[in-house]
Structure 1
Amino acid sequence: MQVFWFIPTHGDSRYLGTSAGARQVNLDYIKQVAVAADSLNYDGVLIPTGRSCEDPWVIASSLIAVTQKLRFLVAVRPGLMQPSLAARMAATFDRLSGGRLLINLVTGGDTAELKGDGFFLDHAQRYVASEEFIKVWREVLARSHDGESYDFQGEHIAVEGAKLLFPPIQNPHPPVYFGGSSEAAHELAAQHVETYLTWGEPPAEVAKKVADVRARAAKYGRTVKFGIRLHVIVRETDAEAWADAERLISKVDDATVARAQAAFANMDSVGQRRMAELHAGGTKRRREDLEISPNLWAGVGLVRGGAGTALVGDPQTVAARLQEYADLGLDTFVLSGYPHLEEAYRFAELVFPLLPDRLKSSLPGRILNGPFGEVIANNIVPSAPPLQAAQG
């Protein structure tokens, strides 16, 4: 079970749908979240993409030197960048980070945003372009290890003699992650990516997606891994968790929900439509209506685009729900919580001990026999800093 956290480059807060409780997201704060995720032994972080976010490649690059093991799931955007350039960026980042790059292939579903970026293809055409993009991207990187070039002529993309002089560390290339709910998305995943990601839908719906992508991949002689993107609200008791879920949207008003849902309705993303259906386009507001599956809460999606559901409950309950998804064949969990710095610690402290293979090593134990100051983790020996290479 791989557990990722999230870098909130579009903002962070204790409340959704309001500026109350908001905190400025600058480089110092982003570094705090990344260092926390790294030191807490999260496997990686997702860095979001879009015009509402800071640029993911710049952000990821700024975090290489302040982290040691953390992997970075960074977006490539067909239509907004050329595949050969994206391959060069990926190879450079992979080398500089010591092989810590993961790729998030993002086709995009907000037509207004895409047009603003100069990309005017419709939904079907975007998937054709995305397939061509990732095919070229993969081939250019794979051939770079042998110094070979690549030619390709497609409907939307063409390259002649595309070549990388400096290959990535990961061979043949950094793994590709991808999410999409349409038939075209499932077909692309089956043919071209290593891991298919779904947003947090009820387990029965996720099982259908997994089965469909897996069957499609088998036709091409491929196997695909699976993951899920979820928010988490975990507290020491169920009552506390549900109270904090309600508190998260306590400052959301009807006008804000209406504006958000109108914007989401203009997107041609099948995944976004499925998220909206979970809360009936914002008309469901009571807890009993927003809990769409045991402990799966759709309240986040009232005002947030993309991933709009959260697992809510005490540590044992949340761990059990994650295991339910794992039993469907999912092994990657991309999680987040508001605010992201505190919740990274809370989830790791409360839930990691309940998940398989989360504790990298057992904590040393010894009897506390004084003298006492504050009795707080006095039996845990501080870890030594990593050894630095000798200078000479």
Structure 2
Amino acid sequence: MSKPSEFLWYIPNDTKAGHRGDASDPDHNSLDTLTTQAKALEEHGWKGALIGTGWGRPDTFTLATALVARTTSFEPLIAVRPGYWKPANFASSAATLDHLSGGRVRVNVVSGPDELAAYGDQEGDQAQRYARTKEFMRLVRRLWTEENVTFNGEHFQVANSTVAPRLVPLGDRRHPKLYFGGASEAAERVSATEADVQLFWGEPLDGVRERIERLRTLGRALDRDLPPLEFGLRITTLVRDTTEQAWADAEAKVVKMAEGAAGSWQDHRHGIAVGQQRLLDLAAQGDVLDDNLYTAPGKFGGGGAGTTWLVGSAEDVARSLRKYEDLGISYFVLSDTPYLAEIKRQGTQLLPLLT
């Protein structure tokens, strides 16, 4: 029997508001505002939330720590970048927070473009970038599960390293799960061998099915020595009481985006990654794909998980998410704006249809 799917949200740790047609909030990034969101997630059936990362926004790990201290069951999916962190530093920090929180830490390893020079980092070409990511993930996992680790890689080295505190297994969980995204060939080779969970953005069902099959085949070809790779979906879900109201609101938001009234800020302004380009290219196939995958936002500034939206009533969106689940997706990271109102709405209307 397969385990039930898990549903997370998104905590926007940025000094700017979101970019899905919502207005700016001067208290958007205050600890009280974000704590209110985290507590609402606990109260409305969510497991936790992704907390994004990137230079020029508040530090992700610091925010995750603060929210863990103010909640009781909220699980942060903490985005981290090799190069911003060294493996041993990160392994120790994450082990400490995992210990203090009773095993609530999840990790999303990010390799996309960033303002590397601003924090003293540099990268070579794509092959070098993903080779470094592969070493980072392999070494962090070893530091969590082994003692007296010595590692001499091309990018990272440690000698006789033992992280404290030691992680305590919780059931079959030996360490925080390592989530990873990326659609390039280099990224998929890393995911197939090193990730616990591969995160997809909101592609049509056929695209996700094909990528799952390819990653499973690749894992076998590369002699993956970890438990089977699991899969997740990061997507915007626009839910309203009726199908008609959902589409009216979705189209109105896109009109604002087209006028520039909503801003065009997005995390992918440093260059377009392969996965992002795949989403942008979907608009050429039509404004609506599958049953209710809305591609128009990507034409007008929507990026990342805001490029495509699942639109409809709670029943419509639940039906679509079930189809992804049937393909093998078991982790869902959903969001829409305004964040707090949507945490409550979707927690009340959508989650009961899925859990």
Give the TM-score taking structure 2 as reference length: 0.89
Contact map agreement 2:256 2:262 (CA 8 A) in 1: no
Question: Does the Cα contact within 8 Å between 1:179 and 1:196 map onto a contact in 2?
Answer: yes
Distance 1:225 1:292, change over 3 A: same
Do 1:180 and 1:186's aligned partners in 2 also have CA atoms closer than 8 Å? yes
The 1-side partners of 2:205 and 2:98 are apart by 34
Correspondent of 1:272 among 272, 276, 285: 276
CA RMSD of aligned residues (A): 2.5
SS class of match (2:255): coil
- Distance across 1 between alignment mates of 2:87 and 2:187: 19
Structure 2 match to 1:304: 302
CA contact (8 A) 2:19 2:302 kept: no
- 1:5, CA displacement in angstroms? 0.7
Task: Name the CA distance, whole Å, in 2 between partners of 1:349 and 1:258.
Answer: 29
TM-aligned CA deviation for residue 256 of structure 1: 8.1
Equivalence for 2:87: 83
**Secondary structure in 2 aligned to 1:30?**
helix
Kindly state the Cα deviation for residue 172 of structure 1 after the two structures are TM-superposed.
3.2
Q: Which residue of 1 aligns with 2:132?
A: 129
CA contact (8 A) 1:316 1:354 kept: yes
> Deviation of residue 22 (structure 1)?
7.2
Is the contact made by 1:15 and 1:249 (CA closer than 8 Å) also made in structure 2?
A: no
Aligned letter for 1:342? A
Deviation of 1:155 (Å): 1.5
CA distance in 1, matches of 2:135, 2:27: 40
**Aligned equivalents of 1:192, 1:248: Cα separation in 2:** 38
Deviation at 1:249, TM superposition (A): 2.7
Percent identity between the aligned chains?
Answer: 35
State the alpha-carbon separation in 2 of the partners of residues 340 and 255 from structure 1.
20
Q: 1:234 aligns with which of 234, 239, 250?
A: 239
Q: Name 2:154's counterpart in structure 1.
A: 155
**Bigger CA radius of gyration:** 1
Give the unaligned 5+ runs of structure 2.
Answer: none
Aligned residues between the structures = 342
CA contact (8 A) 1:230 1:336 kept: yes
Q: 1:254 to 1:121 in 2, by over 3 A?
A: farther
Q: Does 1:138 align with 2:141?
A: yes
Question: 2:290 maps to which residue?
Answer: 293
CA gap 1:104/1:14 in 2 versus in 1, 3 angstroms: closer
Q: Report the CA distance between 1:266 and its aligned residue.
A: 5.7
Query: Whole-Å Cα distance in 2 between the matches of residues 246 and 103 of structure 1?
Result: 34
Higher relative contact order at CA 8 Å, sep ≥6: structure 1 or structure 2?
2
Moved more, 271-280 or 230-239: 271-280
Task: Give the TM-score, by structure 1 length.
Answer: 0.81
Summarize the Cα distance change of 1:232–1:12 in structure 2 as closer, same or farther, 3 Å threshold: farther
Partner of 2:62: 58
Once the 2 structures are TM-superposed, how far is the Cα of residue 166 of structure 1 from its aligned partner?
Answer: 1.4
Change (3 A) 1:165 1:22: closer
Match of 1:38 among 42, 52, 58: 42
**Paired position in structure 1 for 2:337:** 338
Separation in 2 of the partners of 1:231 and 1:354?
17
- Quickly say closer, same or farther: Cα 1:172–1:61, change in 2 above 3 A: same
- Could you tell me which residue of structure 2 aligns to residue 216 of structure 1? 218
3-state SS, counterpart of residue 252 of structure 2: helix
- The answer as to 2:97 corresponding to 1:100 is no
Aligned pair partner of 1:250 in 241, 247, 255: 255
